[in-house]
Structure 1
Amino acid sequence: MDKLTMTETIVGVKLAKDLSWESMASDLGMSPVWLTSACLGMNSAPPDKAAAIAEYLGLGPDVAKALEAFPTKVWEQAVPTDPLIYRLYEIVGVYGDTLKEVIQEKFGDGIMSAIDFSMEVDKIEDPKGDRVLLTMNGKFLPYKSW
């Protein structure tokens, strides 16, 4: 089974069982962001987590093997049209250079890892309108000189 078929299968079962990523992650003891990313085919799952996800959803070993497979991380190069995803692109477009400057001023010349990385999505209730809190936590990787 390939990653696309795996994702379609998982999402279909999730919808049929009226599950949420949050409830699945809570039941499985996993991060909702990581679980969602793995189920959407953008991360590989270790064998124990892949088996737990497949078993939880009532799916077979072919889904578990697909969850374990290393993904090819490719996405559309064009600006997305989905408003939420577009706004994230907009944030990087407007604040990307600023974030680079501030991070490198604090840490030196390097990057934030997207491998040694975690992310949380939280809801902050506010009378003026609920707020989205994205927390990204990545290890700083300095560039080396040789």
Structure 2
Amino acid sequence: MVSTLLAAKKAKNLSFADLESMLGRDEVWIASLFYGQSTASAEEAAKLGEILDLDSATMEALQAYPTKGSLDPVIPTDPLIYRFYEIMQVYGMPLKDVIQEKFGDGIMSAIDFTLDVDKVEDPAGARVKVTMCGKFLPYKKW
């Protein structure tokens, strides 16, 4: 399905940002839909189908509940994706400690969550700014 969606997007010469303005959903969420990590409503699938001339089987697949985080391999080999893995290897525990100092014992939700990617111009070369914003969920005692 991924290759079908990416090919249809490319054939229409559309970016994820273009699709964001057409669908009213964030470009990162739309990209996650393409990779089978999000679920479209019937209306969203129909609208995307209209924009990209998708067949009914693809539109139906967009509405399936995914098994999230099931991308292979477990340790990513793509250099860009591996850098995020590397960032968590280096800064994961420090980030956990700082979050727990500020909020207490708990986690940042990946369900009540947004992710934004911005380009920041810099004299030394463009920089990538990734902003994650998730609801804090304290661990429950019972």
TM-score interval, normalised by the smaller of the two chains? over 0.9
Distance (whole Å) between structure 2 residues aligned to residue 93 and residue 100 of structure 1: 12
2:101 alignment partner in structure 1: 105
Instruction: Report how many residues are paired.
Output: 141
1:133 paired to 2:109: no
TM-score, normalised with respect to structure 2: 0.93
TM-score, normalised with respect to structure 1: 0.90
1:79 alignment partner in structure 2: 75
Distance (whole Å) between structure 1 residues aligned to residue 74 and residue 4 of structure 2: 27
How much has 1:62 moved relative to structure 2? 1.9
AA matched with 1:94: V
Mean Cα deviation higher: 115-124 or 18-27: 18-27
Mean Cα deviation higher: 30-39 or 56-65: 56-65
Distance (whole Å) between structure 1 residues aligned to residue 95 and residue 47 of structure 2: 37
1:44-123 matches, within 5 Å, as 44-73=39-68, 74-123=70-119
RMSD (Å) for aligned C-alpha atoms: 1.2
1:3 alignment partner in structure 2: none
Distance (whole Å) between structure 2 residues aligned to residue 76 and residue 66 of structure 1: 20
Q: Which 4+ runs in 1 deviate beyond 6 A?
A: none
State the secondary structure of the residue aligned to 1:88.
helix
State the secondary structure of the residue aligned to 1:132.
strand
1:34 alignment partner in structure 2: 29
How much has 1:83 moved relative to structure 2? 1.2
State the secondary structure of the residue aligned to 1:135.
strand
Instruction: Render the CA deviation track for 1:75-130: whole Å, top value 9, x for unaligned.
Output: 22542221111111110000000110011111111101111111000000011111
How much has 1:22 moved relative to structure 2? 1.2
State the secondary structure of the residue aligned to 2:13.
coil
Instruction: Render the CA deviation track for 1:1-53: whole Å, top value 9, x for unaligned.
Output: xxxxx222111111222221111212222100000101111111122212111
Q: Which protein has greater RCO, CA pairs closer than 8 Å, 6+ apart?
A: 1
Distance (whole Å) between structure 2 residues aligned to residue 46 and residue 104 of structure 1: 35
Percent pairwise identity = 55
